[in-house]
Amino acid sequence: MQTKYMTIVFDDGPLPFMCEMVDLFNQYDFKAGFAVMGDRINDDTEYMLKHAIDNGFQLVGHSHSHPRLETVTHEQVIKEMTEPIADVKNRTGYDMKNWARLPNLCRDEQVLQICKELKLILLGHGILCGHDWTPDANAETIAKETLETACDGAVACMHVREQTYKALVTILPELKKRGFNLVTPDELFKIKGKTDIPFGVHIHNVNDI
């Protein structure tokens, strides 16, 4: 069976269940990414970041306060997208570099141009995941949609939520059985030989670059 590679990046951390997700992925020798928000990084959540980093997971930026970036000023966009990088670096020494996911994937031409100027690699949403961020999402639907749409090269967008964690208990062993290897975003691009990555462009599947 030919190995299929995919990455899942979990938004909105650091939040409870982040460490549990890391430990669950480790059971299957999988890795993932976490898109973290600056205003959730503090003394009480720093250990979650360190647990992910120490286990070889990738951190990417997800803004400071999760605004709709197309509604704020040029200066605010820059501040929102650069502050989490500095916050994580100051607390852990980890360099998120130029990896990011925009809040709600919302953007206009100005936002994309700013991201291009900041040399940000924008991670998209390449499969369906049962709207796992919504309050009424359930583990069964999340698992069903994720498994139905999982595909080679995809950049999946999921969230640090209890219902998502519960869905992963079903998702991960099934993906393993189907010949998938879940890796970090950086690893996925390298495995697929993508060295010339465009900035300021949403990437939903690395095979499309």
Tokens 């989490």 correspond to 84
Q: How do residues 155-167 score in pLDDT, each as one tens digit?
A: 999 999 999 999 9
The DSSP 8-state label assigned to residue 198 in this structure reads P
- Dihedral, CA atoms, 62, 128, 25, 43, nearest 10 degrees? 20
Q: Give the integer Cα–Cα distance in Å for 45 and 165.
A: 18
Tell me what pLDDT residue 107 has: 86
- Res 1 pLDDT > 90: no
| Residue type (1 letter), 110 | Q
Tell me what pLDDT residue 148 has: 98
How is 10-38 classified by DSSP, letter by letter? EEEES-TTHHHHHHHHHHTT---EEEE-G
Tell me what pLDDT residue 59 has: 98
Share the mean pLDDT of the chain: 96
- Res 106 pLDDT > 90: no
Arithmetic mean of pLDDT, 14-31: 98
Q: Give the integer Cα–Cα distance in Å for 99 and 118.
A: 10
CA-nearest of 201, 118, 149 to 8 is 149
Pairing mode, strands 202-203 and 4-13: unpaired
Top CATH class, 4-208: alpha beta
Q: How do residues 134-162 score in pLDDT, each as one tens digit?
A: 999 999 999 999 999 999 999 999 999 99
How is 41-59 classified by DSSP, letter by letter? -STTTHHHHHHHHHTTPEE
What b/e readout covers 127-141, taking b as 16+ CB neighbours within 10 angstroms? bbbbebbeeebebeb
Tell me what pLDDT residue 200 has: 94
**H or E, element range at 170:** helix 162-177
* Domain ranges, ordered by start, for the chain: 4-208
Arithmetic mean of pLDDT, 174-203: 96
Residue 60 CB partners (closer than 8 Å, separation 6+): 9, 33, 34, 35, 36, 96, 99, 100, 101, 123, 185
Degrees (nearest 5) of the Cα angle 71, 77, 82? 155
